[in-house]
Structure 1
Amino acid sequence: MLHDKKKMLLSFFSCFFLITLVTLQSKIHARTPAIVTVNPKNTSSAGEIRSHRWHEFEKLRDAAKGSSVDGISELKRYFHRFGYLEAEDMRNSSTDLFDSNLEMAITKYQEKLGLSITGELDSATVSELMSPRCGVPDVAGKLHGAESYAYFAGRPRWGRKAPMRLTYAFSAANPIHASSLSEEEVRAAFRRSFARWAAVIPAAFAESADYESADIKIGFYSGEHGDGEAFDGVLGVLAHAFSPESGRFHLDAAETWAVDFGREGAAAAVDLESVATHEIGHLLGLGHTAVKEAVMYPSLRPRERKVELKMDDVRGVQALYGSNPNFSFGAFSESDIYSNGSVGEDEVIRLSLCLLLLFIMLCFCI
């Protein structure tokens, strides 16, 4: 009789354990939603991808600490530009020596961008270093629970009363130079980008014809353009925007900007709407995140489209401005909710219960 009860309890616990484990596993696997990358129709500008300045980092792959490799000095300048090497750590920046300061910068970079922390120039790290990206430094932001959203130093925000209304305008002196895009297509891409942020916070964005008085000023620039943040030509830095309440939003005029990869076949084409959505996040006060699927991740590869806000983006901006009264997290799919790539508190509890049940099962079997 006692033996039969043990068998029944063991069967019950076994079923419960398997159901719980399968549920947990399915949630974890749902955490990596696809990012759309459209292959080019032709490779006419593939040479531009290979020739942009950061592509030279390819030869640094697997370089070891203590070694001297041509191009290390350029990598040090890269890390200084994006906030990983301080000015005092740049004393040996003119040398190609892989020193301790560089190792520390690599470790910080890997931690910030959600890469495996090795302190080495492994394949994943070098691939990320070569990717086109936003020009805003990866300022160290305070982590918030399981999320990775960050803010600019001092956590600046627009000081308008909710619901706030911000105007934006395009520079007539610095328009986009893309023969394949009409003025309306460009404006429509920006309207959609602003609308995504307005859907989650109590804010409205309206285009203005008065550039000088607009809260947000948008322009396409080449090279040095007066803000100390020079653009570098095709790929490399794609755009940059400044923290509140500056409102300055600059895009690199040298890029092949696209709104439809089906129509734009260039291998080096960059999705305008994706970049606009990202930079608006900076204009609102968000820094870069370690969540690769999020809009506020710093890099964007050619022909990649990433325009939908993820939970990390939403929670970050709502911590600054509150929620749009009409917004509901229920609109997010499970893959959006778990897009931060980490196991949440509920899953940790569930996994702990599974282990406890397994222990009880073993006790009954003894």
Structure 2
Amino acid sequence: MAPNLSLLLGAFLLLLVAVQSKNHTKPPEKGFKFLQHLQGCHKGQTVKGLHELKRYLEKFGYLNYGTTNNHHHSKSTATISNLNHANDDMFDDILESAVRSYQSYYHLKVTGSLDSETVQQMILPRCGVADVVNNATNMKHPRLFNMVAQYSFFPGKPRWPASKTRLTYSFQSSAQVVGLQELRSVCSRAFKKWQDVSRFTFVEAPQGADGDIVIGFHRGNHGDGYPFDGPGRTFAHAFAPTRGWFHYDADENWSSNPNMNQVDLESLAVHEIGHVLGLGHSEDLNAIMYAYFSYGTIKRDLNANDIEGIRVLYSS
């Protein structure tokens, strides 16, 4: 019995060490590292992996081979040619144009090639909502002194009806990540940020009832048509009014008091609520509606750009 007991004790200690090691790992690698080897690529080249860059740019709203140059016929020669390049590794004119659009949006040097600065921006983790949905451009609004607002709206400017100023929210997850009480507290604070600067009030729905906004943790393909992609890529996503869905990626390491390995629950909540209200992404690095976030970073407060955006959206 003694030798068997020793073996069991040894196995338990090894398991304990493994668990402790897992909990003290180095920070996760930055999100889209698979793009890094494409640095330096430019128009005219064929490089293995460029199809992944095309998927990235398509996912975030900059590229659509299915509609480009499709002005006359649904099955025009140009469209068929474009579709043939949608999944290959050729750096064509359409991809160059998409890279230029991305660089312009993030105030990078507009080269059309995959330079170091562009790659370093692309590999960062971010919100999963597209910057330019369905190939539409940002809806910018003129300001004083010829300045241009950096906030944006979803195409068509979807909004909650004028009569709908009281929005309820509820929680429904397919994966358990944090306790409900912690999540309720985080979201209550996040909603308060928007309530203070808009016409809305936010109230948690009665237990068991669906709210106008439904918040939850999910992983992979979770039924909304936008599957999550595992740790280090897209942290969360939400939908324009009046769908009211706001989802966290359950594969991320979430916390309401994050260390350098974790993502801040409240920062992403404030951001995704902005989408639920109708705001798109902002080009302002300091805005809560800027698309990119970092591990360990706390960014919970609205800035002037966010506030102006929500007030312009609901001003009419």
Q: What is the aligned counterpart of 1:186 among 179, 183, 187?
A: 183
Q: Hey, which of these two has a bigger chunk of helix by percent?
A: 1
Q: How far did residue 211 of structure 1 move?
A: 5.0
Q: How far did residue 60 of structure 1 move?
A: 1.3
Higher relative contact order (CA 8 A, sep 6+): 1
- Report matched runs for 1:238-317 at 5 Å: 238-261=235-258, 264=259, 266=261, 269-317=262-310
Q: Does 1:60 align with 2:62?
A: no
- Code of the residue aligned with 2:29 in structure 1: it is I
Matched length:
270
Deviations 1:97-142, CA, capped at 9 Å, x for gaps: 2221111001111122232222121222111111111111112222
Q: How far did residue 175 of structure 1 move?
A: 5.1
Which residue is equivalent to 2:139? Answer: 142
Q: Does 1:44 align with 2:25?
A: yes
- Report matched runs for 1:44-123 at 5 Å: 44-46=25-27, 48-49=28-29, 52=31, 54-88=32-66, 89-123=82-116
Larger Rg: 1
Q: What is the aligned counterpart of 1:128 among 121, 134, 137?
A: 121
Q: How far did residue 58 of structure 1 move?
A: 1.1
TM-score normalised over the length of structure 2: 0.80
- Code of the residue aligned with 1:63 in structure 2: it is C
Q: What is the aligned counterpart of 1:209 among 206, 211, 214?
A: 206
Moved over 6 A (4+): none
Which runs of 5 or more residues in structure 2 are unaligned?
Answer: 1-22, 67-81, 143-147
Which residue is equivalent to 2:220? Answer: 223
- Code of the residue aligned with 1:287 in structure 2: it is G
Which runs of 5 or more residues in structure 1 are unaligned?
Answer: 1-41, 324-366
- Code of the residue aligned with 2:141 in structure 1: it is H
CA–CA distance in 1 between the matches of 2:64 and 2:33?
Answer: 24
Q: What is the aligned counterpart of 1:320 among 307, 313, 316?
A: 313
Q: How far did residue 91 of structure 1 move?
A: 2.8
Q: After the TM superposition, which of the residue ranges 182-191 and 141-150 deviates more from structure 2? A: 182-191
Which residue is equivalent to 2:75? Answer: none
Assess if the C-alpha contact under 8 Å between 1:170 and 1:211 holds in 2.
no
- Code of the residue aligned with 2:161 in structure 1: it is G
**Matched residue SS, 2:185:** helix
CA–CA distance in 2 between the matches of 1:183 and 1:64?
Answer: 48
How much is the aligned-residue C-alpha RMSD, in angstroms?
Answer: 2.0
Assess if the C-alpha contact under 8 Å between 1:258 and 1:272 holds in 2.
yes
- Code of the residue aligned with 1:249 in structure 2: it is F
Assess if the C-alpha contact under 8 Å between 1:278 and 1:295 holds in 2.
yes
CA–CA distance in 2 between the matches of 1:83 and 1:44?
Answer: 34
Q: How far did residue 295 of structure 1 move?
A: 0.8
CA–CA distance in 2 between the matches of 1:156 and 1:220?
Answer: 25
